[in-house]
Amino acid sequence: MRVYQTAFAQTVRQLLDERKMRPLHLARKAGVSSGYISELLSGKKGSDPTLYIVQKIARGFDMSTTAFISQMEDIARAENNECW
């Protein structure tokens, strides 16, 4: 599960960069605390996200949950391949 935890944070980071979005803006759009986003991005959050949180974050990026999870899986797959 650790790979998916890391992939979740990396996906959020990548989407923030691609969309030139600030973490505070994402937090407001997603309806989560800015502290949660900050801890996630800094690695302090052990972040085993619930489906509810994944849905909220995906909505914050104006994308479907399916698209967000697909991107997260691509990152996890790439990360897993690097480990071998």
The reply to whether 50 falls in a domain is yes
The yes-or-no verdict on residue 77 having pLDDT over 70 is yes
Residue 84 located in a structural domain: no
Decide if 1 contacts 46 (C-beta within 8 A).
Answer: no
What does the pLDDT read at residue 31? 97
Print the domain residue range for 15: 2-78
The answer to which of 11-25, 28-42, 70-84 has the lowest mean pLDDT is: 70-84
Least confident among 10-14, 34-38, 48-52, 78-82: 78-82
Q: Give how many domains the chain has, as a whole number.
A: 1
CATH (domain of 12): 1.10.260.40
pLDDT at 6 over 70: yes
Per residue in 29-65, pLDDT tens?
999 999 999 988 887 765 578 899 999 999 999 999 9
> Residue 83: inside a domain, yes or no?
no
8-state DSSP, 45: S
CA 50 to chain centre: 12
Hey, what are 69's tokens?
A: 């999870």
**Predicted pLDDT of residue 43:** 76
